[in-house]
Amino acid sequence: MTGTILCCSRNMELVAGYPYWLIKNGLPYHYPKLLNNTRCGAVIIGGGISGALTAYFLTNAGIECILVDARTIGLGSTCASTSLLQYELDIPLHQLKKLVGQQNAIRSYQLCGEAVDKLIDLMNLIGFKEFDRRQSLYFSDHTSDKKFIEREWRARKDAGFEVELLSARDMKQSYNLQAAHGILSQKGATSNAYALTHGLLQYCLQKGCRVFDRTRIKTITYEKKQVILKTEEDCLISAGYAVNATGYEVADFIDKKIVDLDCTYAIISESRAEEKESWKDNVMMWNTNDPYLYLCSAQENRIVVGGRDEPFSNIKTVHKYLDRKSVKLEKDFKNLFRSFSFKKEFAWSGVFGKTKDSLPYIGNYIKTPRTFYALGFGGNGITFSLVAAEIITDLLLGRKNMNAEIFSFSR
């Protein structure tokens, strides 16, 4: 089967405002633009955290890789990520079972739990220090949610997770949090997805991977034994396989409706380095609301608050509501923590995708031969990106992966 797909649309503007991690880290490395024809075993399209993790796994498997991005590396959704590493999906486990079946739901949660540990091992291996293990608190401020929280606690416990039910009194005493019911999980972490992306790519460069940014793919031709990508500068990349890690811009490559786009908003406080930790163990938190509110701590004892999502209709959604949403997020925080002070320093918004079952799309797509997709949509983008990298490495090497079918396009 042969065919050519045009991929020449302009980059979608995915971020507005001042993402803290981009301000903090700036542009730490320079990557060249591709200006010559070249060949490789696999070409990865997308230079965010998904592409970087895929490059890491493929390179370690001995596959000669090239990674390209139309933007400067990391300046898509990755720089706006709040970098929570969670096993919990956007859909609670007891509800996900009804959507995808008990076995697939439990395995999806377990894979994300395993991914948290694997990411920490990986960061240690490459010498990346900007991460912390965290407990995770899933809470409701509605007294009527008691049965909902108990069902979710039981589902997680039965799936093998270390979880504890918390009462309103528990949360008030431990976290000074105004809430009614909660589930405390032992597994979780926070990191810096933007800096980690660069750290992974610097590691991959030392292992022989080639990385190019500001290199937009104009067309892709699918042939029997290779794919040929043409850039806007008319340079050709001939590769045995392609891996698409473009995230929410995937519509350029496939014609199947797989994701709905939303815009989420986040704020971060000024440094509170002189103060004690904001709450016990700096646990990261998110609630049962739809859309949910999430909170975590960052370096210098800063506090990150995010949520207030809006359906993405056009780029105005990213910019227009940012000031209004940041004010509401600050009020949300103060309603939960009435005795804490919070002074906002930066605010930003970013586009993210949601699937109907909260699961990513990983693997091949029938209309684009010799091409794999690593599309870690939803709140578990980073953990699912690692899962995608593992699955795609197996598939590309001709090995069977027992988890691939859960996230396939044919599910």
Q: Does 3.40.50.300 match the CATH number of domain 3-81+193-258+358-407? A: no
Tell me what the mean pLDDT of segment 221-237 comes to. Answer: 97
In the chain, % of residues over pLDDT 70: 97
Check whether 124 has a pLDDT greater than 90.
yes
Residues of the chain with CATH 3.50.50.60: 3-81+193-258+358-407
Over residues 331-362, the pLDDT tens digits come to 999 999 987 889 999 999 988 888 999 999 99
The pLDDT, as a whole number, for residue 261 is: 87
Superfamily covering domain 131-188+261-354: D-Amino Acid Oxidase, subunit A, domain 2 (3.30.9.10)
Query: What pLDDT score was predicted for residue 2?
Result: 65
Which residue spans of the chain are classified as CATH 3.30.9.10? 131-188+261-354
- Residue 149 and residue 76 in contact, taking contact as beta carbons nearer than 8 Å: no
Question: Would you say residue 96 has pLDDT above 60?
Answer: yes
Which pLDDT does position 319 carry in this prediction?
84
Residue 286, pLDDT above cutoff 90: yes
pLDDT for 10 beyond 60:
no
Q: What confidence category does residue 174 fall into, taking pLDDT thresholds of 50, 70 and 90? A: very high
What is the structure's pLDDT at 1?
Answer: 53
| Predicted local confidence at residue 202, as pLDDT | 98
Average the pLDDT over 353-373 and give the result: 93
Confidence of residue 41 (pLDDT cuts 50, 70, 90): very high
Position 5 scores a pLDDT of: 67
Is the pLDDT at 229 greater than 60? The verdict is yes
Q: Which amino acid is at 34?
A: L
Whether the predicted pLDDT of 408 surpasses 90:
yes
- Look over the chain and give the mean of its residue pLDDT values, rounded to a whole number: 93
Cα distances (angstroms) measured from residue 67 to each of 28, 42, 158, 385: 18, 9, 41, 15
pLDDT at 373: 96
Distance CA 79, CA 14 (A): 10
What's the pLDDT at 276?
Answer: 83
Residue 377 has pLDDT above 70, yes or no: yes
Q: Residue 312 — very low, low, confident or very high, per pLDDT cuts 50/70/90? A: confident
Reply yes or no on whether the pLDDT at 253 is more than 60. yes
Task: Give the DSSP H/E element, type plus range, for residue 171.
Answer: helix 168-175
- C-beta separation of 326 from 310 below 8 A: no
Three-state SS for 339-379 is CCCCCEEEEEEEEEEECCCCCCEEEEECCEEEEEEEECCCC
Residue 252 pLDDT level (bands cut at 50, 70, 90): low
Output the pLDDT for position 405: 97
